[in-house]
Every structure is written in C-alpha cells, then in structure tokens.
Amino acid sequence: MSFFNNTHGGVYEYREYGKVGFYTFPAGASANFDGIKLDISGIKVACYAGKFDRKSIVYFAKAVSRLPSAAGVINSELFINDSAISGDGWPGRVAAERYGIPDQDAFFSLQERVRSLPDDHPDVLKHLRIVLSLRQWAKDEQKKIRDKLNFFVKQNAVFPKKISLLYDDREMRHTTHIVLTYQSEGECTLQIDNTLSTVPMLERTLIDGAKRDHQIDIEEVHESFSPMKPNFIKFHSKERPIVGDIELEMSRPIAEFFLRNAYNRMIFMLSEKLDLPIRRVAIRSSPYNQKNTNECVPFSIQNKIDFIEQSEPITSESLMERAIRFRAEQAIISYLLNGGSIIPHFDEMTSTKLGFSYPEDEWYPNYAKVCEELNQRFGHLSQEALENLMLSLEIDDKSVPLSPLFKKLLLEILKAKIDPSAYEIISTPSLSDDRALELERALLPSVVYNSTAHVFFIKKATYGQMDKTKLSEYLELTTGMTVS
C-alpha cells in the first residue's frame, strides 16, 4: 500500500535547478496510515533545490525506513558513505582541529608535500598519524555496518532476504539506492537502481546526430534501457511519445558501461572493505533519470520507497516536475515519520568547505508552516480514526509508521472531540494529575483524562466489555475508589 495517494499533478513552481522551488499538492492528495488518510491537499512546500549532505540524507533514510515492507524485504535505515569505510578520505573537523588541518585542501596539500620530505620530518610524522587515525576510523565504521547487515541476515533462517539501503560514492559524488538480496548467508546479489544518464558516455556525433536526424534532444528527454535489449538505449519524449522515440544500439551492453564507468568503486568497497559475498551484480534502469542535474538524492530515496511499496512510478512528469514533487513529499514524510520540525544539515562552516550552499531562506523556508498545517490536518480526522492511530502508537503497530512523537498532539485533539454523552464519566478529585496521566497512558484510547475537571472518560460502547482490572486496582490503590 502506497504511503502517498494522488499527489502528482499539483502546481509545480520552479525557476531553475539550484533555486528554491514550490509544490502544491492537488485535491485528493493524502498520506495513508494503514487506511487512515490524512488530507494534504493544498499544502504548499517550499523545497530546497540544491545538493544534499550526509546529515540530511541520513535523516531522510531514517524516515523512509519506517515505512512497512513486505515479507522478506528489510527496509533498513542504513546509509553507507564510502569515504567512511575506505580509509582514504580526509580526517574531518575533529581530527583536523587536533592536527591543525583547517580544511580538505590543507590536508591534500600536506599529502602532496610529504612525498618530498625526509621520513623524520614533523609533517611526515603528522601525516602518518592522520592516516593511521583514518584507517582505524574506517575499520570501526566497517565493523558497525557489517554487524548491522549480519543482524539482518541472521535474524532467522528464511531466505531470500532483500535488504534495501542507500549508498553514497564520494569520489563520484553520487547517492544510489541498492538492494542486497541474500540467497544464503554466504551468497548475495547486488542490485543497483541507476539514475545516472548514459549521455556522458556517448560520442558527441551521436548526440548531435539525434538532434539533427530525429529532432530530439537526448540530453533533455527521458532515457531507459531494458535487460531484454541490453545493447539499446531508448530516448523518449512525453511531448512526442511515438514520433519522438529513438533507440541507439551500443557496441556492448549498457550495464557494462555503468559497471566500468560508474560503479566499480562501489562494488570494490562492498566486496573488499565490507566482505560482502556478492556473486552477481544487476543494474536496474530507474525510471528517474537525473540527466545533468544533481537530483540523485531525492531520486534514490524515491527508488527506495518504490521498492519497499512495490509501487509503479508516475511517468507523465518532466524531470524537474518529478524532482520538485519528490522533494516536497520527502519533506512531509520526514515530519510525519520522524516527528521533527527541522530537517537537519551540516552547519554553515562545514557545508561551505564541502562546496554546498545552505542560505537560511533557501533551506525549506516554509517548513515550520508546513508542519503546523499538517498538525491541523490531524484535527480533521474522525474520532474513530484518531483512536485507531493512538492505539497503533501504543502497541507499536509497524503498519502505521507515524512517529510516536505525535501521541501528545493526537491526545489533545481527541480530548477536544469527546462527546460526553458517549462516555462513562468517573470523577477523581483526590487523584493527582501525574497519577491520572500515568493511568491514561496505560489504557489509551479506551480511557482519557480531563485534567481541568479531574475526570476520566470511558467509552460507553466498550465500558461493559473492557478489562477493568488495571483501572480498579489503580484507583483502589491511589484513591480507595472501585469500578464495578
């Protein structure tokens, strides 16, 4: 079941890549909590439209990992950053301050300089200490990831197991959704959901020839390839779906181009650094091709969502329309599933050194307003829907991924909707609010407490059938009251 329903076809507003864009959800758009639909129509999200960093990607991955998945599919929040496991990155701010290395450029300059210095030079010894520190850090990170993957693989004897996660290649500066399918503990297949364009691999004459002979700009339109025709790239335009489609035949399979030019490092890191038993690599042509943009993060997250939900992509949108909608959806899913009203990212100093730009007025500038609007939309739900959401949170029902941080909000809304005529009312004037709220937490949603009137509300429809043991024992112990 898809988390979002009817969200495409809203109002897309964007100027150019890298500038703030806006997406307004259309009528009928909703977020779905196991059949309980939260209306999000008309909500306008101002979307950051540049490169993301590790901190924000981890936050998105954590949110999406809460989505319910099918049997045999493990929706992990794992985000593998290869600079953390490679041992050949740079030391980061803490280590940099310890060794007097202010930024990446200074570190690489030191690396270059020590080649011509004697072995006992202070800079050579400093560089050696940094390198040893990096290698130890990488070993620690490798162990953490291996331990998490081993936990997933060994948690039961049922195979195959499909583990969904995000992988970040810092050398290529590209984030990808990958799936590790374990046929057994000692054998797995790596599936790479490719969003990269084939165009940079093509000869310029082919690109110009397609524009001249077929009146189609393959640098701009959709592209895909299929295992059924491994040597062919299909370019297609939604404006001219028949006349505009062309196919180019390559001298070798397209997947081979990607393995050679894009994913060699990933495969090496997973096989050699993490000791994963990869026996086969499959490259899937994602419907979300990023062309010459940096939309790999929202597209890879959407690939993860599609895989978990087994949903079909919407193909009628342009690249930028898709990107702006995905960013808006992922902002909403992050609030509803993580519960935080701020999407984190690196601080200004770190982001500047890494080549990112996070001006305050461009980083989801209306996000607080969006979160407040979503809070108000919960108030539109029926009392029954609110009670079901509360119950799901109390029993930690995985089919309802709403963040437990919403318990307080839902309870406030539920109390405001109570019709006293539908409830048995028990007055507890001598019971402290702390004790009453403790009991309320234990018996929600069947029992709610009004602290102003010092009364419990118990639904008449369930009062005669409910197990009153907890209520009787607690009230008798704290107030001497009994419930018949």
Q: Hey, what amino acid is at 14?
A: Y
- What order do you get walking across the sheet with 11-13 strand by strand? 11-13, 21-24, 44-47
Per-position b or e across 237-250, b if 16+ CB within 10 A of its CB: beeeeeebebebeb
DSSP letters of 313-353? PP-SS-HHHHHHHHHHHHHHHHHHHH--SS-----HHHHHH
- For residue 242, what pLDDT is reported? 45
- For residue 227, what pLDDT is reported? 80
First to last CA, the chain: 43
- For residue 476, what pLDDT is reported? 56
Rg (CA), the chain: 27
Per-residue model confidence as pLDDT tens digits over 211-254: 777 677 777 777 888 888 888 888 877 655 544 578 888 888 88
- For residue 478, what pLDDT is reported? 47
- For residue 444, what pLDDT is reported? 64
Per-residue model confidence as pLDDT tens digits over 260-318: 888 999 999 999 999 999 999 999 989 898 887 889 999 999 999 999 998 888 778 88
393 touches 33 (CB < 8 A) = no
Per-residue model confidence as pLDDT tens digits over 113-122: 888 989 889 8
- For residue 348, what pLDDT is reported? 73
* Cβ neighbours for 191, distance < 8 A, ≥ 6 positions apart: 178, 179, 180, 181, 282, 283, 284
Separation of alpha carbons 114 and 123, rounded Å: 7
- Residue 165: beta bridge partners? 178
Count of CB atoms within 10 A of residue 236's CB?
19
Instruction: Kindly give the parts of the chain with pLDDT less than 50.
Output: 242-243, 474, 478-479, 483-484
Q: What is the pTM of this model?
A: 0.84
The label of the residue with tokens 């999000």 reads: 40
Q: Which helix (H) or strand (E) holds 169?
A: strand 161-169
Query: What is the maximal distance between C-alpha atoms in the chain?
Result: 90
- For residue 471, what pLDDT is reported? 56
Separation of alpha carbons 223 and 246, rounded Å: 10
Q: Hey, what amino acid is at 255?
A: A
